[in-house]
Amino acid sequence: MDTVLLSDSETDLLKAAELIKSGEIVGIPTETVYGLGADASNEEAVRKVFEAKGRPADNPLIVHLADFSQAEEFTAAIPALAYRLAERFCPGPLTMVLPKNDKIPMITSGGLDTVGIRVPSHPVMHRIIQLSGRPIAAPSANTSGYPSPTSADHVMRDMDGKIAAVVDGGSSEFGVESTVISIEGDNSVRILRPGCVTREMLAEICSEVVIDHAILHELEAGQKAASPGMKYKHYSPRADIVMVEGKLEDFIGFVGSHNGDGVYSLIFDTDRENYPYRYMTYGKDSSQQAHQLFQRLRELDDAGAKKVYVRAPSPEGVGLAVYNRLIRAAGFEVIRI
């Protein structure tokens, strides 16, 4: 099929909403990354999303709504804490896992009896949800396993010919996917996937914020994932990614003794002066790193990188999300020097 590139004009957003209503898949901008949007209540449309991404059937899709009040229509129960969190963080990059009702088909929830609910803040995404009048299931719009797309061009590269349209809403504001949480108790949440709503921000609303073990550690054989997405290799470009923790001078020494054809370094902006080897940079603080990471991973592939040594980011605040994406891109290969 021909994949049409749409603008963010009202006429084009109407077209996008019509496509979704008729069971087609549309690449849509959000404030985190681009998503592959489909009517979450239409099993056939959702099946096409799994197919276009090459995504395993047991990995659930997040359902996007225009307003958190609509969550009542698709869930079986909403704890009081969820309303408090919604008041502070919706719309925005937070996904809450809640018990689903039968308006969300099993294919959408990957066979689970819960559903991830998110209210995106991106005006284009918001408008498309409103115009379609449907709950929109949207995984990140990358081919399964590859870095998430942060521009319409990335989506086109992965999905051209596989979906009906892509809406260009510019470059994604945050650059990493939403924070996914489950509600553990009256005053307690668990972070299943870190994002730009940080542990510190959640702690302003609830007394306990647990970081799920799978965020920083590889699951052992037979271990059950709280979030199915954590089971799979993810965010990986074709190049082999290795995270290196240590001081800049030690990093330079390490790369020097491992340099060769197709070897690149991914370093901080502040490291670049006189940096002696082939490199790309990914910002100078956590939010810049989040914003640039996926774009750089794709650029490293375009440049023909075979092996990439990455300066490990600080895992504080938004940095935890950056660290989590990188450690998974690296298949948990971290060298400490």
Q: Which residues bind ligand TXA (CB under 6 A)?
A: 30, 32-33, 35, 59-62, 93, 95, 97, 109, 112, 114-116, 118, 138-140, 177-178, 180, 192-193, 227-229
Residue 31 CB partners (closer than 8 Å, separation 6+): 92, 93, 120, 121, 122, 125, 172, 173, 174
Query: What phi and psi, each to the nearest 5 degrees, are found at residue 272?
Result: -75, -25
**Nearest-approach distance from CB 313 to Mg ion, in angstroms:** 19
The residues pairing with 45 across neighbouring beta strands, listed in sequence order, are none
- CB 267 to ligand TXA: min, Å: 26
Q: Rounded to an integer, what distance in angstroms lies between the CA atom of residue 135 and that of residue 65?
A: 6
Q: Please state the closest distance from residue 234 (CB atom) to ligand TXA, in A.
A: 8
Residue nearest to ligand TXA (CB): 229
Nearer to Mg ion, 140 or 289 (CB): 140
Stretch touching Mg ion by CB under 5 A, among 48-56, 136-144, 219-227, 242-250: 136-144
Cβ nearer to ligand TXA, comparing 183 with 305:
183
Considering only 132, 140, 292, 295, the residue that binds Mg ion (CB under 5 A) is: 140
Alpha carbons 143 and 108: distance in angstroms, whole number: 18
User: Which residue's CB is nearer to ligand TXA, number 126 or number 307?
Assistant: 126
d(C-alpha 83, C-alpha 173), whole Å: 25
Amino acid (one-letter) located at 43 = E
User: Cα separation of 99 and 115, whole Å?
Assistant: 6
- Taking the complex as a whole, the smallest distance from the CB of residue 37 to ligand TXA amounts, in Å, to 8
Kindly provide the residue ranges of all beta strands, DSSP E only, lying in the chain, ordered along the sequence. 4-6, 26-28, 35-39, 62-64, 94-99, 114-118, 136-137, 165-167, 179-185, 188-193, 208-211, 240-245, 263-267, 279-281, 307-311, 334-336
Q: Which is nearer to Mg ion, 42 or 140 (CB)?
A: 140
- Minimum distance between the CB of residue 55 and Mg ion, rounded to whole angstroms? 8
Closest separation between CB of residue 268 and ligand TXA, Å? 24
By a kind-dependent CB cut-off of 5 to 8 A, residue 97 interacts, out of ligand TXA, Mg ion, none, with ligand TXA
Residue 33: contacted member of ligand TXA, Mg ion, none (CB under 5 to 8 Å, by partner type): ligand TXA
State the binding partner of 53 from Mg ion, ligand TXA, none, CB within 5 to 8 A by kind. none
Q: How far apart are alpha carbons 229 and 208 in whole angstroms?
A: 23
User: From the CA atom positions of the chain, what is the Rg in Å?
Assistant: 20
Q: How far apart are CA 79 and CA 117, in angstroms?
A: 13
Could you list the residues that contact Mg ion (CB under 5 A)?
140
